[in-house]
Every structure is written in C-alpha cells, then in structure tokens.
Amino acid sequence: MKFQFHKNDKINTQWYILILGIVLMTLKFIAYYHTHSNAILSDALESIVNIIAGGFGLYSLYLSAKPRDFDHPYGHGKIEFISSSIEGGMILFAGMSIALKAMYGFFRPSPLNQLDIGILLVAISGLLNYCMGVFAVNKGQKKHSLALEASGIHLKTDAYTTLGVLIGLAIIHFTGFVILDNVIALLMSILIIFNGYRILKKSMSGIMDEADFELNTKVIHHINSNRVSEWIDVHNFRIIKYGEVIHIDCHMTMPWYYSLQQAHDGMKEFEKCLQNSLLNPVETFIHIDPCVPQSCSICQIANCAHRTAPFKEKIEWTLDNITKNQKHHYNNTISKTNL
C-alpha cells in the first residue's frame, strides 16, 4: 500500500501510528539485543502486535470511509468493530505469550548486559508511544472512530508497560537483583491481557449492537428538553452504531387528524432535534402512529377539538419507558411509577 496523505485525517493518523510502530519496534529489539532482558523482549513483542494491529486498523478506516452501496446499505462502518476485536484478540495473545516467557525465565534465567543503553532506548520509545497514544485517543473520540481509539489505547498501554520496564531496569541496574526482570515481565503481561480484554469486549458490543445506555440517555435528555406538544409520544426507541454514523429508529405518535404534510413536517422537526443531539452523523427511520383516545390524557396540545379526555400528566421519556414497544398513556403503570 503506497503511502500518501489522505483527505480523511483519521486514515492519516493511523498511518502515523503504523510508521511509528515500526520505528519503535526496531528500537526495542536493538535494546533487547544489547541487554537480553525478558522485560524489554516483552515490550518488543507487543510492538509487533502494534504493527499488525495498526495495519488492520488502517485497512478498516479505509473501508469504513467508503460510501454506502447496494451491498452495504448502512455503509461500511461495522468494519471498525471487527478491526478493533482483532486488535483486542492480538493484545490478549501477546499478553499470554509474555507471561509464558516470563515464567520460563524464572527457571532458566539469562544474564543481563548493557542496561544503560537499554534504558535509554526504551525510554525514548515509551515517550513517543505515549504522545502518539494520547493523540490517537483524542482523535478517535473526536471523530467517533473505535478503531482509532483502540489503537490509541493500545499505544498508551504500551507506554505504561514501558514505564514499568524502565523502573524495573533501573532497580536491576543499581541493585543487581536480576530476578526482577521476570517479575516485571509477568506484571506487564497481566496489564496487557486486561487491556486486550477491555478492547475486545467493547468491539464485540458494537458487533452485537449492544445498547449504549450512556448514548441513549444523552439523546433522550435532549429530545425531552426540546419536545413540542405535537410529539404526543415516542416509543420503541433504538440506537445502532455503524462506525461513526448513528442510526436511530423509533415510533412517534402524532394527532390522527393531521394531514400527511403536517405529519411529515412534524417528523422532520423531530429528526432535526435528534441530529442536533449528537456530533456524529445521524440517520433516522421514524414510524408515525396516529393518536388513540387513551393518548388524550398525556397529550399537551391546547384546544384540541378532537380531545376525548382531559390532559392529566406529561410523560417524561426515560431509558426505561421510551425503549418499550408500546404507546404510553395515563393508566400505564410505567408512566406513573417508574419516571
């Protein structure tokens, strides 16, 4: 794949991560060559994972940036979850490999050499890793890219383990307590396994369309704060992520006597409210339901000529009641007791 600057800055960021990973891996293996330290080797092995995962991440960002087509009507954004799950799995594998190498080192210890050179090279790689990791996480959160965020978390984790290696090497250098080399490598493997599991869990949640309660609550709060009286009720509310694109579908109750044009205009106003609730690109699919006599008790439209019952209570939409596939009305226990 020929390197070139891309108009998509997420892809450019992933290119930087990949190139930096190659440079840092080289530094760490040079440090291992001079020191024969298992702790440094474990750090270098994780860098191999960084490079392979960075390649997957780069490909996923290229693919997710493609416009939707006939075969992929919702776009290609799901590839970011798959890429992230691959990266999480590789981090888990690296952590387990490092743990095995560390435990082997307890029984077959190796002498350490030239720790001063090793400390210098590892310190440089750790600092660069952390800076790029922070940059990638911030960019991923800003651009709503799980693949980029996962790469950044991976780099920051690598920097933390590098810091552990540096502390351990410094202690070994001044005390001669060589057994610490394997202890550090083992502790690093535990941290790496934990972060791999965390990335894998988050990516699998996206693949399985697991509900993001924090995101749902944010959107629901926004539409509650900006609702108008003709939005009589909203239910069967769902949010699905396709990479950076957020898909929202729901059922919306509006006055039965509205013309098709009036209902359409009210729906477009609601769509605009949903789109304004998030920084992500938002697409919506809204099903319009006509109101029924039971809706009158929660309908806030003033001077309605078709009202069959007086207004009694405004239903605040919550995560608990708006996601259920049923219209709300005053006699519903969920609308009175669980709000």
Using one digit for the tens of pLDDT, what is the confidence trace for 242-288? 767 889 999 999 999 999 999 999 999 999 999 999 888 888 999 99
Domain spans of the chain, in order of start = 9-207, 213-337
Output the CA–CA distances (angstroms, integers) from residue 107 to 18, 34, 75, 83, 128, in the order listed: 36, 22, 53, 37, 34
d(CA 168, CA 231): 62
Output the CA–CA distances (angstroms, integers) from residue 300 to 60, 271, 297, 303, in the order listed: 47, 20, 8, 9
Looking at residue 49, its pLDDT comes to 73
Q: In 3D, which of 257, 115, 288, 111 has the Cα closest to residue 182? A: 111
pLDDT in tens, 120-154: 888 888 888 888 888 888 887 777 676 677 778 77
CATH architecture of residue range(s) 213-337: 2-Layer Sandwich (3.30)
Residues sharing a CB contact under 8 Å with residue 79, sequence separation 6 or more, in sequence order: 60, 63, 64, 147, 243
Q: In 3D, which of 312, 314, 245, 241 has the Cα closest to residue 281? A: 245
d(CA 288, CA 307): 19
**pTM of the entire structure?**
0.64
Looking at residue 262, its pLDDT comes to 94
- CATH superfamily placement of domain 9-207: Cation efflux protein transmembrane domain (1.20.1510.10)
Chain center to CA of 169: 34
Burial class (CB in 10 A: 0-12, 13-18, 19+), 215: middle
Determine the Cα angle at 215 with ends 218 and 228, to 5°: 40
Looking at residue 330, its pLDDT comes to 63
Residues sharing a CB contact under 8 Å with residue 331, sequence separation 6 or more, in sequence order: 294, 297
d(CA 323, CA 206): 18
Output the CA–CA distances (angstroms, integers) from residue 186 to 82, 126, 153, 210, 294, in the order listed: 29, 18, 20, 33, 64
pLDDT beneath 70, residues of the chain: 1-9, 109-111, 144, 146-147, 243, 329-339
The DSSP element (H or E) to which 49 belongs, if any, is helix 38-64
Looking at residue 274, its pLDDT comes to 95
Instruction: Tell me the two tokens of residue 27.
Output: 């530094």
Q: Determine contact, residues 216/304, Cβ cutoff 8 Å.
A: no
Q: In 3D, which of 14, 12, 103 has the Cα closest to residue 50? A: 14
Looking at residue 302, its pLDDT comes to 87
Looking at residue 4, its pLDDT comes to 47
3-class SS at 159? helix
